[in-house]
Chains A and B, each alone.
Chain A
């Protein structure tokens, strides 16, 4: 097993077919060591199938993937020894306590004795479950189970961490705590993180790079900032105080960009680089067009998804 954190994830032409359906349809990825990679897409896009292949839970139909420098199809034991995985279903035994789960997980990796004891206590403290450590899992809340799941994934100090929709169903406080911990792992411990999510905000906050998968294919990849910059500029939307000013407002805003869809009663343009928000405000003031409301809308990853697939992420499941 490679003990150094000098390998990330490399994927070439990875395919997984279920009878006639190609759930993952020839994807290529290269994730550097210590990077947080956000894998975005709607339900059924192929995110979890990709994770299952990379964690050796599912053999690929075609293509090649190495994780931590080991081939997922031929070197399963070495891959599993190098990774930690918190999968979508927090599969915990309701009859065991948190501590007993950690004991089992550490034993599976051959960690014993005092080292195990210390590790268990450290991890319980890190995920805020020290006092609940001896309680049976069936008394845990969803957030507690997710945090325990993360601790289980970390018990053997993995090089690469797979988090499959780790914050689904969590309250905002638990979500933020988990984001902080994941960020710390990558930043301070050099752990490579492969994170699948349906939450754009999560990818935006956490990921160094993002890949968007739809119908089994990667439709966009890059840093969140670059992807957003690629598909467009900010949109400015103004609601005039008086309806009579609408025509003057349209003419004024037309100097800053191209008209785009707006709410009823509002007028909006996508800024084309001839000015920014302060310039628009100055122009409104100079020409005495009074605004009841001014909104600046920066492009989001949802806009990226819309631009690349023709659908919004929220509506994609029904497509």
Chain B
């Protein structure tokens, strides 16, 4: 049956094929979080001795959650670069004229983004475990953590897709990347939220990503807190990002 799923699977297969054939596309989103994990977990591990640092799973696990979610977001954003490249090179026009169901195009890019992030997440997890990461959470807790990653990956992809379809040029890459970078680093990256002070605490408290990273840390530690809120925030971000991406695609369709 010709459906949007045919389109999505076909496009995801193409994206993954291109990805695997080109280390230059595949490696940066893989190396970036790995470097962060090793740098944060190694160089900043003494932060766990700061008074009031109440995370009991070790600093590697504390950092791992941030880096995992960061890799999810940037995995999505890097996949968005591919969408912009497709528009710039005219390949998107081929997809728009060939795909009977255009809804499948965004789904295809999203599937490919998830496949890419899955590979990164597996490598990150292995490296984290090798570095002595303690996992206190149950299987369900860990599933919850990775589920947050999946949603955040889709949010990153859909955000970048919305920019890519509006500008239809790789030159818009900084516009895809910078806001995500700012959102991630205006959250409790190195210490728990309650240890932040001043303006950064005020901003981090309102930052939607804070809910995800704090809940994620609770899940890996085995002391889940505000998990429902985190999933609610993630779902809300997903809805907003979906509308942003869909309206971007509609704009690209109108532009021809």
Contacts and interface: CB of A to CB of B under 8 A. Distances in A.
A49 B256 CA distance: 9
Nearest to A155: B98
Interface in A75-98: 76-78, 80-81, 83, 85, 87, 89, 91-93, 95-96
B97 A55 contact: yes
Contacts of B96: 56-57
Contacts of B98: 80, 85, 105, 108-109, 152
Interface string B32-53: 0000000000000000000000
B14 A87 contact: no
Q: Categorize the interface residue count of chain A.
A: 20 to 34
Contact of B91 (A49, A80, A93, A110): A93
A59 interface: yes
B2 A110 contact: yes
B10 to A, nearest CB: 3
Contacts of B95: 108
B93 A80 contact: no
A109 B17 contact: no
Dominant secondary structure of chain B at its interface with chain A: helix
Contacts of B94: 87, 91-92, 152
A57 B14 CA distance: 22
Interface in B78-98: 89-98
Given A57-B93, A80-B98, A104-B13, A110 B6 contact: yes
A260 interface: no
A58 interface: yes
Contacts of A298: none
A5 interface: no
B196 interface: no
A233 interface: no
- Identify which of A55, A77, A152 gathers the most chain B CB atoms within 10 Å of its CB: A77
Interface residues on B, range: 20 to 34
A222 B131 CA distance: 77
A81 B7 CA distance: 12
Interface string B1-21: 111001101110110011001
B93 A104 contact: no
B18 A95 contact: yes
B17 A56 contact: no
Contact of A56 (B7, B9, B18, B97): B97
B90 A91 contact: yes
Contacts of A77: 100-102
B99 interface: yes
Nearest to A78: B100
Contact of B6 (A52, A78, A85, A109): A109
B2 A81 contact: yes
Contacts of A92: 91, 94
A107 interface: yes
Contacts of A52: 256
A169 to B, nearest CB: 15
A251 B165 CA distance: 70
A40 B206 CA distance: 60
B116 to A, nearest CB: 15
A104 B97 contact: no
A302 interface: no
A250 to B, nearest CB: 56
Contacts of A78: 100
Nearest to A48: B256
Given A81-B100, A109-B98, 4 more contacts: A77-B101, A96-B14, A108-B7, A109-B100
24 contacts: A56-B96, A56-B97, A59-B253, A76-B102, A78-B100, A80-B99, A80-B100, A81-B100, A85-B98, A91-B90, A91-B94, A92-B91, A96-B17, A100-B14, A103-B13, A104-B14, A108-B6, A108-B11, A109-B98, A110-B1, A110-B2, A110-B6, A152-B94, A152-B98
Interface of B: 1-3, 6-7, 9-11, 13-14, 17-18, 21-22, 89-102, 253-254, 256
